Structure 1
């Protein structure tokens, strides 16, 4: 990616509904060049798609929690080893799960989940998450205030 790709991506992250004409004018490129660059970035998988970003509070999904999971690597009578990737994939398929990360340290997996209420998140942990083979101890941290939440990917070196 060159500087022009980065500028294009930054503009698309601000507003992906901008017309090609508007993007071309802002970036001092031709419409064809902007279109070709977008198609190239889509083909390379840099641009994964275009979505509406919803306000969770206005859609009734106000409760947010971060859940740490400690795995039980050997589980059941066979003591068959379990894969973090397998468990993370199972967790990621549950509705309300926003993010799943395999992490280093004392815990193995970090989950970001949303629900209408904290009770919904509690039910998710009790009835869904802890029922997954290999999920051991969990620690749930409810978020009271979100100071920043962004789907944007930072494209430049930190200041």
Structure 2
């Protein structure tokens, strides 16, 4: 990936709705080479897709929590079963497997505290292999949906 590809990615992270013509002008390429580079970035998986960023409050998701999950055991079948079941819980916005304890970090969005409590008791606590759940409430987003840094630190 060269600096032109990095410029293309930077522009698209700021505005994924740019036309190829607008993108080409911003990165100082003609349309055809820009289009070829864009398709190659998509084909290679550097660009995984395009989507709208929706404000959670606009769709009634006013409550957010972070949930730390510690597993009873971490054998392959238990982990696979947990991750498969977790992927079906639509209110889980993000899930990361961690080294050490806890084993997972989940970002959850619900309508309110009562809805979170139901989700916690009825879905999260019953996931395969869960030993302990610990949660904390999100008070405020300080940095959110930041574009990836494309220069190496």
TM-score normalised by L of structure 1: 0.89
Contact 1:88–1:100 under 8 Å retained in 2: no
Contact 1:88–1:109 under 8 Å retained in 2: no
Contact 1:62–1:116 under 8 Å retained in 2: yes
Note the aligned Cα RMSD (angstroms): 1.7
**Other structure's SS at 1:57 match:** helix
Q: Flag structure 1 segments of 5+ consecutive residues without an equivalent.
A: 75-79
Q: CA deviation at 1:60?
A: 1.1
Provide runs of 4+ in structure 1 moved above 4 Å.
Answer: none
Q: Tell me, in whole angstroms, the C-alpha distance in 2 between the residues paired with 1:100 and 1:134.
A: 16
Match of 2:57 in 1: 57
Say yes or no: does 1:104 pair with 2:99. yes
Q: CA deviation at 1:84?
A: 2.6
Count, aligned residues = 153
Structure (1/2) with the larger helix percentage: 2
Q: CA deviation at 1:98?
A: 0.6
TM-score normalised by L of structure 2: 0.92
Match of 2:112 in 1: 117
Q: Tell me, in whole angstroms, the C-alpha distance in 2 between the residues paired with 1:83 and 1:45.
A: 29
Q: Tell me, in whole angstroms, the C-alpha distance in 2 between the residues paired with 1:81 and 1:43.
A: 31
Say yes or no: does 1:94 pair with 2:93. no
Say yes or no: does 1:9 pair with 2:42. no
Q: Tell me, in whole angstroms, the C-alpha distance in 2 between the residues paired with 1:140 and 1:36.
A: 46
CA distance 1:94–1:151, shift in 2 (3 Å): farther
